[in-house]
Chains A and B, each alone.
Chain A
Amino acid sequence: MSGISSGFGTWNPIAWGLLILGIAVLALVLRSTGRRSYKKGTDQTKAFLSGNEEPSTPGDLHVRGGHLYWGMLDGLDAYYRRVRGLHTGVINDYVAWFVGALAFLGVLFVWVG
């Protein structure tokens, strides 16, 4: 119950949970003092798609996995092309990495260490 302590501070999840609960209760209290009037089924409750029409078939609504994070993947394209190029999938390259690491660490441990 006392939580774990590192050199800098303590992490106590029970205390954190009580704090979050307190904040949530405060947020609910504040929210309950708001207005309750909205009309369901009109434009007030529909999703805003930048003025476009909502797609009719449900299949088009779902953003598929390959399209997510497009911006980040496109921005880091230089890095990704290089790293993906290294993961060739050819077994000889896997062995080459192994032998390279062996040689590098051999020099490191025997000469330096």
Chain B
Amino acid sequence: MSLGNLPFIASAMLVILGIYTLLFKRNLVKLVVGGSLIETGVNLFLVTFGYRTAGVAPIYTYAPAAKRMVLPTPQALTLTSIVIGMATTALLLSFAIHVYRHHGTLDARKVKELKG
């Protein structure tokens, strides 16, 4: 049985959940998790559209003869995006630590000294 459009739906759900988290959650660390959810959704989308039905991994060594291969470029895009996501998450969390040290709270509604 094939998955059909399920991975696309799952990726859309992840993106929507991530946006929901960013909009309605107040803890700064939860906001970072929300951003990470959106990134995961987009990565899943990238890998999914590279899939070709009954395709094998796009490696030429020991490849089965006359078989379709899935697209390799989206996999490269996804790897790059995962690495970038890791770097941004690390930076965001370190700034969250600094904010906690200065303000004593991680509530986004209270950390609003820069306004107006």
Q: Are A92 and B26 in contact (CB under 8 A)?
A: yes
Q: Are A99 and B115 in contact (CB under 8 A)?
A: no
Instruction: State the CA gap A91–B99 with chains docked (Å).
Output: 13
A82 proximity list for chain B (CB < 8 A): none
Instruction: State the CA gap A84–B115 with chains docked (Å).
Output: 8
Instruction: State the CA gap A87–B23 with chains docked (Å).
Output: 16
* Contact-size category for B: 10 to 19
Q: Are A89 and B113 in contact (CB under 8 A)?
A: yes
Q: Are B108 and A92 in contact (CB under 8 A)?
A: yes
A-B contact count (CB 8 A): 30
Mark contacts of A63-97 with chain B using CB atoms, 8 A cut-off: 1 yes-contact digit, 0 otherwise: 00000000000000000000010011111100110
Q: Are B115 and A87 in contact (CB under 8 A)?
A: yes
Task: Say whether B22 faces chain A, with CB atoms less than 8 Å apart.
Answer: yes
Instruction: State the CA gap A104–B76 with chains docked (Å).
Output: 32
B115 proximity list for chain A (CB < 8 A): 87-89
- Give, as a whole number of angstroms, the nearest-CB distance from A43 to chain B: 44
Instruction: State the CA gap A87–B115 with chains docked (Å).
Output: 6
Q: Are B19 and A89 in contact (CB under 8 A)?
A: no
Q: Are A95 and B108 in contact (CB under 8 A)?
A: no
Mark contacts of B23-43 with chain A using CB atoms, 8 A cut-off: 1 yes-contact digit, 0 otherwise: 111101001000000000000
Instruction: State the CA gap A90–B112 with chains docked (Å).
Output: 6
Task: Say whether B109 faces chain A, with CB atoms less than 8 Å apart.
Answer: yes
Task: Say whether B114 faces chain A, with CB atoms less than 8 Å apart.
Answer: yes
- Which residues in chain A, 32-90, are within 8 Å of chain B measured between CB atoms? 84, 87-90
Q: Give the interface of A toward B (CB within 8 A).
A: 84, 87-92, 95-96, 99
Q: Give the interface of B toward A (CB within 8 A).
A: 19, 22-26, 28, 31, 108-109, 112-116
Contacts A88-B115, A91-B108, A92-B22 known; list 6 others, CB within 8 Å.
A87-B115, A89-B116, A90-B109, A90-B112, A91-B28, A92-B24
